[in-house]
Amino acid sequence: MRDRSEIGGYQLVQKIGFGGMSTVYEALDGGGNSVALKLLHPSISADPNARDRLRREVRTLRQVTGPYVAQVIDAETEEDDAFIVTELIDGPTLSVDVSDHGVFIGKDLADLAKELAEALQAIHDKGVLHRDLKPSNVMMSQRGPVLIDFGIAQIAEESRMTATGLLAHTPGYAAPEVLNGEDPTTAADWWSWAATLAYAATGHAPFGTGHSPKVTRRVLTGECDLSGADPVVAYALEAALNPRPDRRPDPATVIGMLDGSIEVDEDYLILGPRHAEPADTLPAPVGDMDVTDLVTDQGEPPQFPPTRPMVPPGYYAPAPTNRYETPSPYDTSGSAVFHPRQDSAVVAQARFDPRFSRNPVPLPDWLRPAPRRPVVVLMLWAVFIAWAGVLPAYSILAFAAYSLISSIVGVARDALIRARLERGGRFRGESMSVLGRLPLSIFGGLARTIAAVGSGLVTGGALSWFLHDILLMSNIVCVLGGALVGTLVAWVYPTSRASRETTRLLFATIAPSTGYRLFWVVLATALLSLALAIYSNGGEPDWTPFSIPFVFN
Distance between CA 425 and CA 90 in Å, rounded? 44
Q: Is-contact 170 193, C-beta < 8 A?
A: no
Q: Is-contact 301 329, C-beta < 8 A?
A: yes
Q: Is the dihedral of CA 257, 263, 267, 268 positive or negative?
A: negative
Distance between CA 352 and CA 418 in Å, rounded? 33
Rg (CA), the chain: 29
**114 labelled binding-site residue:** no
Distance between CA 372 and CA 375 in Å, rounded? 9
Distance between CA 483 and CA 543 in Å, rounded? 14
Q: List Cβ neighbours of 269 (8 Å cut-off, separation of 6 or more).
A: 235, 239, 249, 338, 340, 341, 421, 424, 425
Q: Are strands 83-87 and 34-40 parallel, antiparallel or unpaired?
A: antiparallel
**SS (HEC) of 54-71:** HHHHHHHHCCCCCCCECC
The DSSP secondary structure of 358-370, one letter per residue, reads TSPPPPPGGGSPP
Residue 219 identity (one-letter amino acid): V
Distance between CA 519 and CA 525 in Å, rounded? 10
Write down the H helix ranges in 302-391.
344-352, 374-388
Q: List Cβ neighbours of 416 (8 Å cut-off, separation of 6 or more).
A: 366, 430, 433, 434
Binding site for ATP: which residues? 38
Binding site: which residues? 38
